Amino acid sequence: MSILEIAMASQIWARRHEKRQPDFDETDGLKILLRTAVVFVAFTLLIAGLNIAAGRPQMLAQGSAPVVMGR
């Protein structure tokens, strides 16, 4: 067999044995959004817990921001 024949046979075999992916469904988008939200909340709670355990809880505004003057 030539290389071209082997390549063609391999391509045909691969196409016959490939698994089709199911189409994207609306519920898949909701699942992805829900998982993203859960991961975000879990990560936020982890960081807050580590800051509390270290004894230095983070404040959003601890003081006024310094103004950068002209260079």
Residue 48, token pair as written in the block: 């807050």
Q: Where are the domains of the chain?
A: 27-53
Give the pLDDT confidence score for residue 52 in this predicted structure: 85
pLDDT in tens, 3-57: 888 888 898 888 888 777 777 777 888 899 999 999 999 999 999 888 888 887 6
User: What mean pLDDT value characterizes the chain?
Assistant: 80
Q: What angle (nearest 5°) sits at the alpha carbon of residue 54, between those of residues 53 and 55?
A: 90
Q: How many helices (H) and strands (E) does the chain have?
A: 2, 0
Position 58 confidence tier, pLDDT thresholds 50, 70, 90? low
Residues 6+ apart with CB under 8 A from 51: 57, 58
